[in-house]
Amino acid sequence: MAGAVLFVTVFTVYGWLCPGYSWTSMFVSELSLGPYGWVQMLNFVLTGALVLVFGRGLAAHFNTGAASLAGPVLVQCIGVSLIASGPFTTDPSAMFDQISTHGVVHGIFGALVFTFAPLSCFVFYRRFRGDPLWRTLAGWTLTAGVVLTLGIGLLKFSQQPGSALFEWKGLVQRVILVTFMAWIFAVAVRLRRRYRGGEPSL
């Protein structure tokens, strides 16, 4: 829960405060450029660590049945990828076509995050739809997976020369990130309620 809120809050507030930065046309990773870029780098690392821990918690909770292996592993891989991408700065306005060494490394781990995010939603949807105690999250999980998939497709299209979405690529990326972090938050809230006795445990 903390990781999801931290990540979105930092890149939103810092984006507003960063001179010359446009949240509609520039990627979140571009906040790592410039004299205060360490703020976003630290945001990646801290969020990744929290997502990794969350993935370990999912593994402990969903220890049998559908998604008990693949789901937690995907979430943990997302956490590791966020941590690994943090210290490496992106190339300006680039996502799929990085050139510098730092940019290539950042791009590789970033691509893993954007690949594993929708996959994790679809994997957990398979678990949630068949589990009475998690079924209420099944529709939201499927919706998140579809939104992420479509958003990544639009993001890829926005990088094409002359694309009408080029000036809106930052907004498209934010829709993807906020959707995934909202899904993590929702699952974490449900898990927390179960362990605090608010709902019956599995």
Per-residue pLDDT reduced to its tens digit, 22-50? 999 899 999 999 888 999 999 999 999 99
pLDDT tens per residue across span 83-92 = 999 999 888 8
- pLDDT top residue among 142 and 96: 142
% of the chain with per-residue pLDDT over 90: 71
pLDDT tens per residue across span 52-78 = 999 999 999 998 888 889 999 999 999
Cα 202 from Cα 196, distance rounded (Å): 13
**Cα distances (angstroms) measured from residue 160 to each of 32, 94, 155:** 23, 11, 9
* Domain boundaries defined on the chain: 2-195
Q: How big is the CA angle at 1 (ends 151 and 197), to the nearest 5 degrees? A: 130
The reported pLDDT for the residue numbered 6 is: 96
**Do residues 178 and 117 make contact, with C-beta atoms less than 8 angstroms apart?**
no
Lowest mean pLDDT among 125-129, 166-170, 187-191: 166-170
Extract the tokens encoding 160: 């094409």
Residue 199 has pLDDT above 70, yes or no: no
| Per-residue confidence band for 101, with pLDDT thresholds at 50, 70 and 90 | confident
Tell me the pLDDT of the chain averaged across its residues.
90
Cα 28 from Cα 21, distance rounded (Å): 10
Q: How big is the CA angle at 115 (ends 114 and 120), to the nearest 5 degrees? A: 100
**Do residues 51 and 3 make contact, with C-beta atoms less than 8 angstroms apart?**
yes
**Do residues 197 and 126 make contact, with C-beta atoms less than 8 angstroms apart?**
no
The reported pLDDT for the residue numbered 201 is: 47
Extract the tokens encoding 189: 């809230």
| Per-residue confidence band for 96, with pLDDT thresholds at 50, 70 and 90 | low
**Do residues 117 and 78 make contact, with C-beta atoms less than 8 angstroms apart?**
yes
| Per-residue confidence band for 156, with pLDDT thresholds at 50, 70 and 90 | confident
